[in-house]
Amino acid sequence: MQGQAIVAETFLVFEIWLSVAAIYLVITMSLSALVHELEKKFKRYSH
């Protein structure tokens, strides 16, 4: 919702939503990599 407030204030629609999408992508890719590493770690200790 903060993205909408910034767009209303600045009228930079494309730039704001591109930034929001980039931040989302960085967060999700980081979490995905973290989960992948945890899965590898726990797989070593299982049967």
Three-state helix/strand/coil letters over the chain: CHHHHHHHHHCCHHHHHHHHHHHHHHHHHHHHHHHHHHHHHHHHCCC
Domain boundaries, the chain: 2-44
pLDDT at 36: 96
What are the 10-residue block averages of pLDDT along the chain, 47 residues in total? 77 84 98 95 79
CB atoms within 10 A of CB 16: 19
pLDDT at 9: 82
Cα–Cα distance, 17 to 24 (Å, whole number)? 10
pLDDT at 47: 62
pLDDT at 4: 77
Which pTM value belongs to this model? 0.66
pLDDT at 23: 97
